[in-house]
Amino acid sequence: MVKKEQEMGQKKVPVKKLVEGAAMGLGFFVLFGSLAYREELGAVMDIVLGPLAEFVGRDKFLITVLVLSIVTGIYTSIVQKYTMNWELMAKSKEFSKQIKELNKEYMAVKKEDNKHKIKKIEKKRAEVMRKQTQFSGEMMKQQMKPMIYIMVITLPIFFWMWEYATANLSGIGVIFPLIGEKQLLDFFITRMRMPYWLLWYIACSIPMTQVIRKTLGIKGGM
């Protein structure tokens, strides 16, 4: 009975990896495909988000942006929580902590010129770094996996915000704290063409996401 359960468990692992691989492949396809059809995706999203923006009011577009920052913060946090291997993340952080402590210890014994201790610490540090390197590939995968899922949903929302703002916010200004009144379509970073409504999204998204992550019990970062 135990042997049969073990065999079933071993079969589930490849199937899970196959499903994850297929989902990530589909995610990449949708992600890069969406970049070529920004206006079309924006038009599709307008069916859902357009009525929300009109209900709130064009001159109060920043409220719509605030609502969308909360929505994106919720699903981003949920995707991270259920797609990432947090035990692996914790191990990686532990390795980084060990290396940091060993570096401090190494600097201390180097001042003492204790060759025996120096050699011992170097050997231990090399072993920890070797183990950390073994995790690097899997860590990269862990960070990429939720990113693909998140962007597949986030990009269409951004495309809609950009298209809607461009078409409807001309001449609308808002008073921002510390920087005064600004036109929402003006760029706060001209070279990167980042408008002030996007600055508002960033300002709302960061604290909202942190609150949501704390509520869901996500301690570590990406």
Torsion of CA 143, 145, 146, 151, to 10 degrees: 110
Q: Is residue 17 situated within a structural domain?
A: no
Give me the pLDDT at residue 65, please.
Answer: 94
Look up residue 176 and give its DSSP letter: E
Give first-to-last CA distance, the chain, whole Å: 40
Residue 4 within any structural domain of the chain: no
Q: Is residue 10 predicted with pLDDT exceeding 50?
A: no
- Length of the chain equals 222
When pLDDT is cut at 50, 70 and 90, the band that residue 120 belongs to is confident
Residue 82: its pLDDT value, please?
82
Instruction: Say how many domains are in the chain.
Output: 1
Whether 113 is covered by a domain: the verdict is no
Mean pLDDT of 182-206: 85
| Token representation of residue 60 | 């109060």
Is residue 26 one of the residues assigned to a domain?
no
Residue 50 belongs to a domain: yes
Percent of the chain with pLDDT over 90: 14
Residues 68-114: pLDDT tens digits?
999 999 988 888 888 777 777 777 777 778 778 878 877 877 777 77
In a domain, 57, yes or no: yes
| Residue 13 within any structural domain of the chain | no
Asked whether residue 157 is domain-assigned, the answer is yes
Instruction: Quote the domain boundaries for residue 60.
Output: 37-85+138-215
pLDDT digits (tens, 9 = 90+) for 31-41: 555 566 778 88
Higher pLDDT, 61 or 190: 61
**Of 197, 200, 205, 194, nearest to 164 (Cα)?**
197
Mean pLDDT of 131-155: 74
Tell me the average pLDDT of the chain. 77
How far is 185 from 108, CA to CA, in rounded Å? Answer: 55
